[in-house]
Copies of this chain bind each other. A is one copy, B any other.
Amino acid sequence: MNPRAGQTKKRTRIQALNEAKILEAALDIFATFGFRGTTIDQIAQKAEMSKPNLLYYFRRKEDIYISVLERTLETWLTPLTELDPEGDPIEEIGKYTSLKLQMSENDPTASRLFANEILHGAPMIEHVLKGSLKSLVDEKAVVIKRWIDDGKLTNVDPYHLIFMIWASTQHYADFKIQMRAILGEEVDKPDYFEKAGKTISTIFFEGLKPRA
């Protein structure tokens, strides 16, 4: 019987193995070439199996893509979940920002995958964006608003603040090629992201106007 990822019937050893291999390979390829730019053959080759065999596990190219997206999305949203309303605002936002930057460093493919999907109109994950992502952001915006009302943060729009954190950190994954063109090999050295983190947090917390 032709298996389908996510079906009810229990999966065999080989199914689990090959599905994992496929998804891992697909993440890389999709992140680099986008949905249309990716061919099934490319994924199959990277996953070390024949195209028909790959299609035995995922009937359509779109099925692989959606699986990869959903799988990555969860990891990607986790950090925001952990923004603690009871914690110190500056510390919480600092942790969140630094965690997002770390993710851009360690798993840039995930970031690029989303960037691609969203650039192209998010045809496959619009419902997730309007669903769980919106809920999560709405919830955290309230938390930030309270911090502001308590005088613990400068008065800024919580949503735009969140967007700006996303922008500043994900930029280091999505636009790394541009940065490398400007700064050269430096961007691949270990202290590059450290310097990025320092700059980002200085600006976010201190601002550019020198404090007396």
Chain A positions within 8 Å of B, measured between CB atoms, are 32-37, 89-90, 93, 112, 115-116, 118-122, 126, 129-130, 133-134, 137-138, 151-157, 159-161, 163-164, 166-168, 170-172, 174-175, 177-179, 181-183, 195-196, 198-200, 202-211
**Residue with the highest number of chain B CB atoms closer than 10 Å, among A120, A129, A151, A160:** A160
Q: A161-B199, A195-B160, A200-B160 in contact; A178/B118 too (CB < 8 A)?
A: yes
Residues in B with CB closer than 8 Å to A174 are 115, 118-119
CB distance from A55 to the nearest CB of B (A): 21
A34–B120 touching, CB < 8 Å:
yes
Residues in B with CB closer than 8 Å to A208 are 89-90, 93, 153-154, 156, 161, 204-205, 207
Residues in B with CB closer than 8 Å to A89 are 208
CB distance from A166 to the nearest CB of B (A): 7
B129–A182 touching, CB < 8 Å:
yes
Could you tell me the distance between the alpha carbons of A170 and B170 in the complex, rounded to whole angstroms?
A: 12
Say which residue of B156, B163, B177 sits within 8 Å of A118 (CB atoms). Answer: B177
Residues in B with CB closer than 8 Å to A179 are 163
Say which residue of B90, B112, B122, B167 sits within 8 Å of A171 (CB atoms). Answer: B167
Closest B residue to A39 by beta carbon equals: B36
Besides A115-B119, A133-B178, A154-B203, 6 other CB < 8 A contacts? A34-B119, A36-B37, A154-B208, A163-B171, A168-B168, A203-B207
CB distance from A72 to the nearest CB of B (A): 15
B207–A154 touching, CB < 8 Å:
yes
Residues in B with CB closer than 8 Å to A164 are 168, 171, 199-200, 203
B181–A122 touching, CB < 8 Å:
yes
Closest B residue to A116 by beta carbon equals: B119
A171–B182 touching, CB < 8 Å:
no
A37–B120 touching, CB < 8 Å:
yes
Could you tell me the distance between the alpha carbons of A183 and B134 in the complex, rounded to whole angstroms?
A: 8
**Residue with the highest number of chain B CB atoms closer than 10 Å, among A35, A116, A129, A178:** A178
